[in-house]
Amino acid sequence: MDLRLNGRVAIVTGASKGIGLAVVRTLLDEGARVVAVSRKSGADLDALAGPNLVHVPADLMDPAAPAAVVERAVEVFGGLDVLVNNAGGPPPGAVLPRFGFLPLTDDDWRAMYEFNLFAVVRTVRAALPHLLKSDAASIVNVSSGNARHPAPMNFDYNSAKAALNNLAKGLSEEFAPQGVRVNTVSPGPVRTAWWTEEGGAADVLAGATGADRDAVMDSVAPEMMSLSTGRLALPQEVADVVALLASPRSASTTGADFAVDSGFLKEL
């Protein structure tokens, strides 16, 4: 299927690895021009180098960074059609999962909201004047199934993602009539560095359950989370949905939340 993204300009945050990297690769394959945003690049992102890809190093927790990113995208490619707010998860220095409510400090809450909500608010604010000039504008926010599945863990992360979902609905109501669609993709557990890197979620759960880290990813975590498919999702499976929502092929889809979660979310 031709997603009709050839020549379109997209910003993708959290672009150096995992879901963001898969989104960048997919959009490039569809002929889009991509501004990839991350604190630093990486070998996998560098391997995609070409005339349609620009990496902008930025820390989105810096309030000035989102506007600078958007300005750079417009400077290089002359406009903006797609914004993928993928950066999120544990802010620097935090490791998820975190169990219980009482151990969380005000600083924990502030950092989590800064990264998962306020950075998105600022990026959208900076991007909208340019997106409103596009004839097929799209914003795709990458949220989490945990936004709709409260649990006695990751309180700060879960509530920040719930706020992100609410934000997307409101933005869609205001701006879809003006030609900017806003949708959400909510992954469940995805086999990314968040799980696989040393000290990541697999190691945290291994310590809590007594299983080894590979068993956690292959069987323990899917069983704990009642994943219908029996496995963690892959980054490309999320990226495919993001690309479809970014595409003019989804011209009548806005204000929606798509679960790509291996059957994690059981609620209607």
- Is residue 249 predicted with pLDDT exceeding 90? yes
Distance CA 5, CA 122 (A): 25
Residues 62 and 147 in one domain: yes
Residues 28 and 160 in one domain: yes
> Residue 210 belongs to what domain range?
191-232
The pLDDT, as a whole number, for residue 96 is: 86
C-alpha torsion 52→43→260→123, nearest 10 = -60
The pLDDT, as a whole number, for residue 196 is: 85
55 pLDDT band, cuts 50/70/90, is: very high
DSSP state of 116: I
197 pLDDT band, cuts 50/70/90, is: confident
Q: Angle between the 155-175 and 119-131 helix axes, to the nearest 10 degrees?
A: 20
Task: Name beta bridge partners: 10.
Answer: 34, 82
Residues 195 and 252 in one domain: no
Residue 1 included in any domain: no
194 pLDDT band, cuts 50/70/90, is: confident
The mean pLDDT value for 65-85 works out to 98
Residues 25 and 149 in one domain: yes
Residue 267 included in any domain: no
The pLDDT, as a whole number, for residue 104 is: 97
- Is residue 43 predicted with pLDDT exceeding 90? yes
Preceding amide of 97 cis, omega within 30: yes
Average pLDDT over the chain, rounded to an integer: 95
Residues 155 and 40 in one domain: yes
| Interval 79-121: pLDDT, tens | 999 999 999 999 998 988 899 999 999 999 999 999 999 999 9
CB atoms near residue 46 (< 10 Å): 11
CB atoms near residue 212 (< 10 Å): 13
| Interval 134-171: pLDDT, tens | 999 999 999 999 999 888 999 999 999 999 999 999 99
- Is residue 38 predicted with pLDDT exceeding 90? yes
Residues acting as catalytic residues: 157
Residue 2 included in any domain: no
The pLDDT, as a whole number, for residue 265 is: 92
Q: What is the CATH number of the domain that holds 115?
A: 3.40.50.720
Contact call for residues 139 and 131 (beta carbons, < 8 A): yes
The mean pLDDT value for 194-215 works out to 86
The pLDDT, as a whole number, for residue 195 is: 84
Distance CA 188, CA 90 (A): 15
Residues 30 and 99 in one domain: yes
Residues 199 and 183 in one domain: no
Residues 218 and 242 in one domain: no
Residues 166 and 228 in one domain: no
The mean pLDDT value for 212-229 works out to 90
| Interval 20-37: pLDDT, tens | 999 999 999 999 999 999
What is the domain count for the chain?
Answer: 2
Residues 143 and 201 in one domain: no
- Is residue 191 predicted with pLDDT exceeding 90? yes
229 pLDDT band, cuts 50/70/90, is: very high
